[in-house]
Amino acid sequence: MALLRWNTTGITIGGYLNTTNITSNSLNNPKGIVLDSTDTLYVSDTNNHRIQHIFVGYTNDTTIAGNASGFPGSTPSYLDFPNDIAIDSYDNLYVADSFNHRIQLWRVNASSGTTIAGGGK
């Protein structure tokens, strides 16, 4: 039996708050997190209206869904306050796009999402 123990000292593995300049490694109100099949971390960067791919130990993260500049929108390539995310066994990303009242499917390496549920404002 493995002995599990809580580590009381946390470390920052990605993101920092930067309200004056949206950069690839700034997060503003991160809510949902998920790991893919290779244990890569994804974060719903809610107030920056995007999903970030976090590379642990690197200084730059990558926007994989939404607008990298942090602008909200309702077209297939934009998000508006994404709250939660999930990944399927093919590493496709599902985004709860709150203010657009929809669930968006972002296939691996896609530049835009497809609405699979909701969409009415």
With respect to residue 83, please indicate whether it lies within any of the assigned structural domains: yes
Q: Vertex 65, ends 13 and 51: CA angle to 5°?
A: 30
Distance, CA of 17 to CA of 65 (rounded, Å): 19
C-alpha closest to that of 36 among 109, 114, 117, 118: 109
C-alpha closest to that of 23 among 44, 52, 55, 65: 52
Distance, CA of 47 to CA of 79 (rounded, Å): 10
Count of domains observed in the chain: 1
CATH number at residue 72: 2.40.10.500
Residue 27 above 70 pLDDT? yes
Residue type at position 107: R
With respect to residue 82, please indicate whether it lies within any of the assigned structural domains: yes
Q: Would you tell me how many other CB atoms lie within 10 Å of the CB of residue 27?
A: 22
With respect to residue 19, please indicate whether it lies within any of the assigned structural domains: no
With respect to residue 1, please indicate whether it lies within any of the assigned structural domains: no
Give residue 30's pLDDT: 87
Distance, CA of 87 to CA of 16 (rounded, Å): 24
Structural domain boundaries, residue 101: 30-118
Residue 17 above 80 pLDDT? no
Q: The whole model's pTM is what?
A: 0.83
Question: pLDDT digit string (tens) for 49-76?
Answer: 999 988 766 667 889 999 998 899 999 9
